Amino acid sequence: MTEKNEGSGAFAGRKLNRRDFLKMGGAGLAGAALLGTAGCGGGGSGSGKIIFTMGPDADGSIAKLINKFNKQKISELEAIHREMPASSNGYYDKLRTEFQAGTSDISVVGVDVIWPKQFAPQNWIMDLSDRFPESEQKKFIPVTISVAEYEGGIYAVPWLSCPDAGLLYYRKDLLDESGISDPPETWDDLKEMAVQVSEEAGVQNGFVFQGSNYEGGVCNALEYIWTHGGDVLDDNDNVVIDSPEAAAGLETYASMLTSGASPEAVANWTETESSANFYNGDSVFIRYWPSLYGGFGDTATTKIKPEQIGITKIPVDKPGDPTYSCLGGWEMSIYANTEIEDDAWKFIEFMTSEQSQKERVIIGGYDPSRKALYDDPEVAEATPVVKLAKDVLLKNVKSRPVTEYYGDMSLEMAEQFNSALKGDISPEEAVKTLQKSLGQIMEEAQ
């Protein structure tokens, strides 16, 4: 099974969060981290290579573009992809260890959209304002720019899949066989259809998603909270998660398991397991990112063909309610201590160019970050997700509550959301606990 998504995988035991690090005193830990990273990595700043870190290159499209960059000698230095863990959490932990040690040989960092606002205040990545002026920024989808801004600077260039956004994929062929012509609009519709169609078609699971105790679990649960009218922070960054709306969202989240619409195993699933299940024909519905689409029709990945698939928006609580998709995606930053800043920039310019993005969109079905590609007929033909993104998603995409302290907040949310999903705690308990712990994080931040 080819894993299609770059930011997926199991929660990779994060040992220390930022506050723990500060409490322990950075220096001692940095020493430990230094020992831990000795011998890792390929190259070194003295090796004269542009070392680019990113998760696995599932469809080979990163390698293809890097070969082109090297062949065309766009820089005198050769670029290489250093593969990082597929899980956003595991990748974050690796970067943090290297950056805290201050000895990293990385020059270009593929960053999850939630990282620039966390990395910039630590001085781990560079302000790119001089190289990436507003006139250029305007060519990108606005939300992909705002996540990279920090105190008047811009710290990343949006790449792919950016914007990522939650979508509901379904087996159109199986819904048709059950006489269902329209996909679900509400979460209740989804539950009913998932139970009915999986039974009638003899498919193992109704609806699968990413419910594990990790970053993807936060994205999934937030979509339920938002579509029930709840939120984590208000406009003034006050924690407001202890609300009947947020609790109702988590109640619906947990009801996916108790109603039998979803298997209990999803509480431990990430992108890897959920996509494998759907690609294998073992589920009727899946909540996933746009990149899933690129795999359909690829016989090495799945027996399911694109014509068997329908894609729709994330369901809502009541008919007519607004939908929300969690914003995800990957951008490119320059490591603050690199000695090859100019070459790193040439690499970023090449990888995020219209032409390079187009090639990768066509291979992998990712959402492009450049506006122009949403009107490109070849892109539209290669993946219907881009059209859906333009018509629907870009209007309903919502960012996680990203602040400098998001890393800590995310750990707390991941745990509480997962416990509520498993039924270990009630939705009310989860939002009360979070109101306290997130409030503390925000207070300490003042």
The residues near 182 (Cβ < 8 Å, ≥ 6 apart) are none
- CB of 92 or CB of 132, closer to ligand GLC: 92
- Verify binding: residue 88, ligand GLC, rule CB under 6 A: yes
Cα→Cα distances 178→98, 173, 190, 322, Å: 53, 9, 14, 28
- Asked whether the beta carbons of 188 and 321 are under 8 A apart, the reply is no
# residues near ligand GLC by CB under 6 A: 17
Alpha carbon distance 445, 18 (integer Å): 11
State which of positions 7-46 bind ligand GLC (CB under 6 A).
Answer: 7-8
Read off the DSSP letter of residue 372: G
Q: Are 417 and 221 in contact (CB under 8 A)?
A: yes
Pick from 59, 93, 98, 112 the residue near ligand GLC by CB under 6 A: 112
Cα separation of 225 and 258, whole Å?
A: 18
190-196, long-range: CB < 8 A, 24+ apart: 190/261, 190/285, 190/315, 191/255, 191/256, 191/259, 191/261, 193/284, 193/285, 194/261, 194/262, 194/284, 194/285, 195/259, 195/260, 195/261
- In angstroms, give the least distance from the CB of 270 to ligand GLC: 6
Q: Which is nearer to ligand GLC, 161 or 262 (CB)?
A: 161
Provide, rounded to whole angstroms, the least separation between the CB of residue 328 and ligand GLC: 3
Which of 399/435 has CB closer to ligand GLC? 399
- d(CA 4, CA 91) in angstroms, rounded, equals 16
**Residue with smaller CB distance to ligand GLC, 270 or 302:** 270
Shortest distance in whole angstroms from residue 6 CB to ligand GLC: 6
Of 56, 249, 295, 328, the one binding ligand GLC by CB under 6 A: 328
Applying CB under 6 A, the span of 41-49, 117-125, 275-283, 322-330 interacting with ligand GLC comes to 322-330
- The window from 4-12, 31-39, 40-48, 75-83 that contacts ligand GLC (CB under 6 A) reads 4-12
Helix, strand, or coil (residue 241): coil
The residue (of 216 and 295) whose beta carbon lies closer to ligand GLC is 216
Which CB, 88 or 416, lies closer to ligand GLC?
88
116: contact with ligand GLC by CB under 6 A: no
* 197-216 residues near ligand GLC, rule: CB under 6 A: 215-216
List the structure tokens of 294. Answer: 């690129």
- Based on the shown chain and the rule CB under 6 A, indicate whether residue 289 belongs to the binding site for ligand GLC: yes
Q: Which residues pair with 164 in a beta bridge?
A: 328
- Contact between 113 and ligand GLC by CB under 6 A: the answer reads yes
**Stretch near ligand GLC under the rule CB under 6 A, chosen from 111-119, 188-196, 232-240, 278-286:** 111-119
Q: Does 385 bind ligand GLC (CB under 6 A)?
A: no
Verify binding: residue 249, ligand GLC, rule CB under 6 A. no
**Do residues 15 and 93 lie in contact, with contact meaning Cβ atoms separated by under 8 Å?**
yes
Among 3, 4, 6, 29, binds ligand GLC (CB under 6 A): 6
Nearer residue to ligand GLC within complex by CB, 242 or 271: 271
- Distance of closest approach, residue 414 Cβ to ligand GLC, in angstroms: 10
Region binding ligand GLC by CB under 6 A among candidate stretches 11-19, 128-136, 328-336, 384-392: 328-336
343 contributes a contact to ligand GLC by CB under 6 A:
no
Nearest to 30 by CA among 98, 123, 90: 98
Paired with 125 in beta bridges are 335
Type of residue found at 345: W
Q: Shortest distance, CB of residue 273 to ligand GLC, whole angstroms?
A: 12
Residue spans of beta strands (DSSP E) within 377-435? 397-398
Distance in angstroms (rounded) separating the CA atoms of residues 391 and 342? 37
Please, what is the minimum distance in Å from the beta carbon of residue 167 to ligand GLC? 12
Residues 140 to 169: which contact ligand GLC by CB under 6 A?
164
Q: What is the CA radius of gyration of the chain?
A: 21
- Which residue lies nearer to ligand GLC by CB, 33 or 156? 156
Secondary structure of the chain: what % helix, strand, coil (to 5)?
A: 50, 15, 35
Residue 251 CA: distances (Å) to CA of 28, 79, 228, 229, 285: 44, 48, 10, 13, 20
Cβ at position 385, least distance to ligand GLC in Å: 13
Q: How many CB atoms lie within 10 A of CB 377?
A: 7
HSE-CB at 287 with a 13 A cutoff on CA atoms is 32
> How near is the Cβ of 393 to ligand GLC at its closest, in Å?
13
- Whose Cβ is closer to ligand GLC: residue 198's or residue 352's? 352
Using CB under 6 A, which residues numbered 394 to 423 contact ligand GLC? none
Binding site for ligand GLC (CB under 6 A): 5-8, 88, 112-114, 164, 215-216, 219, 271, 289, 328-330
